Amino acid sequence: MFSRNPYSRIFSFYVDKLFSPNPYYWNSLGVGITKRSREKATCGHDVTFNELVDYIIYTPSTARDFHTIPINDICRPCTIPYDIIGKMENFENDVSNILKEIGAESYPYFSENFRKEYTTDSIYDIAQAFVSFRQNSDKCIDRQTGLKRVWRVLQIRGIISESLQMPFSSNESQTITLSKLLNTILKARDESLNEDLRDQKATFFKEAYLSVPLDTMMKLQKVYKEDFHIFNYESFPKNLFTVKRNTTNEIFIV
């Protein structure tokens, strides 16, 4: 089995399922979150990171979305005698060791350019999802806003530089093809390779959590207390638990 840092897991879930154009999750989860936190529910497209955190804290684990349930509750590592427990933070190295352990080290699992192949897969997934589901997304946001979110997601994930603006006009956004979208994003990815994308990704992550009130962060830590302990993750990282905190989610507004 593989574990993942709870803070990273929550942030990734928010970006991929609620901020990204994802009408399935907007309808199945977002509507309920906005209904419980606002006087009037929206169509689920504008859930804030703070609202997701509150949903996790105040919704019983058994009633929450699977992606937000503690890994300890799902995989039961103290009950099931796993041979190997890896970490997503060390995925490439851990998988390489697993392949050696089972005598398959010669299997061509990783290429020499693993990161480029990984980002290419990610780009295709998000572009294909946008094109496939844009008619459903139209019920909540216009297509140019949807493309701006796609672009922002790729910046948040450290795939393209924050300095590169989404290039499509409102008219182009209406009928853009998957091929054109993919080619444009891949070009932007290649133009961004020399920039410090890891630091950019870390900044988005940090700013999202600094928008959450400190007392709420303390409650969130308790939800995943066992995950932090069992898998040896830092429960109070200094970059997330600071006195100076923001009050908005402006990094996500498009």
Helix (H, G, I), strand (E, B) or coil at 64: coil
Q: How many domains does the chain have?
A: 2
**Which amino acid would we find at residue 56?**
I
- Judgement on whether residues 164 and 45 belong to the same structural domain of the protein: no
Q: Which two tokens stand for residue 148?
A: 């701006």
pLDDT value of residue 95: 84
Contacts of 39 (CB under 8 A, 6+ apart): none
Which residues, in sequence order, are bridge partners of residue 86? 2
CB distance 15 to 157 below 8 Å: yes
Q: Decide if 105 is inside a domain.
A: yes
- Judgement on whether residues 246 and 190 belong to the same structural domain of the protein: no
- Judgement on whether residues 36 and 97 belong to the same structural domain of the protein: yes
pLDDT value of residue 251: 57
pLDDT value of residue 141: 96
Q: Decide if 203 is inside a domain.
A: no
172-218 tens-digit pLDDT = 999 999 999 999 999 999 999 888 999 999 999 999 999 999 999 99
Domain housing 223: 2-109+216-252
CB distance 239 to 206 below 8 Å: yes
- Judgement on whether residues 105 and 221 belong to the same structural domain of the protein: yes
- Judgement on whether residues 121 and 105 belong to the same structural domain of the protein: no
- Judgement on whether residues 47 and 120 belong to the same structural domain of the protein: no
pLDDT value of residue 39: 85
- Judgement on whether residues 16 and 139 belong to the same structural domain of the protein: no
Handedness of CA 168, 137, 183, 120 (dihedral sign): positive
Alpha carbons 106 and 97: distance in angstroms, whole number? 12
Q: Decide if 135 is inside a domain.
A: yes
Q: Considering only CA atoms, which of 197, 201, 178, 180 is closest in space to residue 116? A: 197
Pairing of strands 86-87, 2-3: parallel
Which residues, in sequence order, are bridge partners of residue 87? 3
Q: What are phi and psi of 110, to 5 degrees?
A: -110, 135
Beta strand residue intervals within the chain, DSSP E:
2-3, 86-87
**Residue numbers in the chain where pLDDT is lower than 50:** none
CB distance 204 to 155 below 8 Å: yes
Q: Which two tokens stand for residue 107?
A: 């299997």
- Judgement on whether residues 188 and 241 belong to the same structural domain of the protein: no
Q: Which helix (H) or strand (E) element contains residue 2?
A: strand 2-3
pLDDT value of residue 153: 97
- Judgement on whether residues 105 and 15 belong to the same structural domain of the protein: yes
